[in-house]
Amino acid sequence: MEDQELLPYLFRTEYRKIIAVLCQLFGIAHIETAEDIVSDTFLSATELWSQQGIPPNPAAWLYTVAKRKTLNHLKRDQLFAKKISPEIKKSSHEITEMDIDLSDQGIHDSQLAMIFTVCNPGIPEESQVALALNLLCGFGAQEIADAFLTKKDVIYKRLQRAKEKLKADQIPIIPPSAGAVNSRLDTVLTTLYLLFSEGYYSTSQDTTLRKDLCLEAMRLTYLLVSHPPAALPAVNALLSLMCFHASRFAARADQQGAMILYSDQDTKLWDQELISKGTYYLNEAARGTVLTKYHLEAGIAYWHTHKEDSREKWEQILHLYDQLLVLESSPIAALNRIFALAKVMGNAAAIEAAALLPLQDNHFYYALLGHLYTPLDRTQAMVHFRKALSLAVTAADKEAIRKQML
């Protein structure tokens, strides 16, 4: 990794870990204090590393400096220290002895507790998701706004209201009980699903794939699976879905970052180990009688990891899309279904079904129509490709459309 890329990468991966530990130490009422300390830690890294060079273990350096800044803050404000830890006396020595646990286990426990703290039913779900993306995933306000297709100012307000509500209700940051898991799991899974989706198809940056976001979503989902009360079918299904999608990362984009269509992917590049893990978690998800959209999407992704282009494969995918649309209607899922329908019923039937979709401002819709018309009417196909090109935003999407027009 290039030096200029290291700090942004560490900010994405380490900021949220330190925030979780400090928030658990200080309490939810002092989120801003934790954010200030961690931001100041990264500011120090920016200044010192440019002068002295990058340390041998950059993450450990950040943890050490964050601990020191935390202890210094507590020494300067011993009234604050007394509030967060009543057993602390006024001596600097006893503050110095405080345990700020930035071990792997300490981070694991703090993040797990934070996931269920910020996803609290006392605040609106959209605000829960925004706050979780901000504190647990390191998303800035603009990235969250892009994920929700709204304005940055709206996200700022959601974040502020969510923080104020958590403070007012004095929500403790503790490992989730079975009751907390049951009442908040839907929002937690929505957050992780959004995080993975933003990485899988980035809307906030001009790039096809942001693996760091996808891997972080998988890591946080694995935190849930590793906590017995949260290792429920829906969680296993979501992790399965992520594994299947991640297994095709290497084949999904070329060296220039341009998207490679599924039918053109080099299947030798698919990660068989991740496919095996996805299959394992999908089997775990099948325990019980619960069926969620994550089960159905994982099933669709599972069949996409089958290399053969058989009728059975596409019939299974079409059937799963039909179930998904009954469970949760979605224009994008309906659009993806059209591709499977073409494989089973032919392009003409798929074109007829696509005409019913309310997606006339979506470039994927016109790109799919162009693909469907190509063997039937090349002139009409080009009309749709040109429309798709005019609506596409990212350079990667535009390049993918141009390739289909050749």
What CA–CA distance (Å, rounded) separates 138 from 38? 12
pLDDT of residue 94: 53
- At the topology level, CATH places domain 322-405 in 1.25.40
pLDDT of residue 194: 83
| Residue partners of 196: CB distance under 8 A and separation at least 6 | 213, 214, 217, 218, 242, 245
For residue 134, CA distances in Å to 2, 35, 128, 186 come to: 26, 11, 10, 18
Dihedral over Cα of 289, 275, 298, 177: its sign:
positive
Domain positions in the chain are 1-102, 322-405
pLDDT of residue 86: 53
Q: With residue 384 as reference, give the H or E element that holds it.
A: helix 378-391
pLDDT of residue 96: 56
Long-range pairs of 32-38 with CB within 8 A, sequence gap ≥ 24: 32/163, 33/73, 33/80, 37/66, 37/69, 37/70, 37/73, 38/66
Per-residue pLDDT of the chain in tens (406 residues, 90 and over written 9): 666 778 888 887 899 899 999 998 888 888 889 999 999 999 999 999 989 999 999 999 999 999 999 988 888 876 666 655 554 444 444 555 567 889 998 998 999 999 888 888 788 878 888 888 888 887 888 878 876 768 899 999 999 999 999 888 888 888 777 787 888 888 889 888 988 887 787 655 555 557 777 888 898 899 999 988 899 999 999 999 999 999 999 998 877 767 788 888 999 999 999 999 999 999 999 998 989 999 999 999 999 999 888 999 999 999 999 999 999 988 889 999 999 999 999 999 999 999 999 998 999 999 999 999 999 999 999 999 999 999 998 887 888 899 899 8
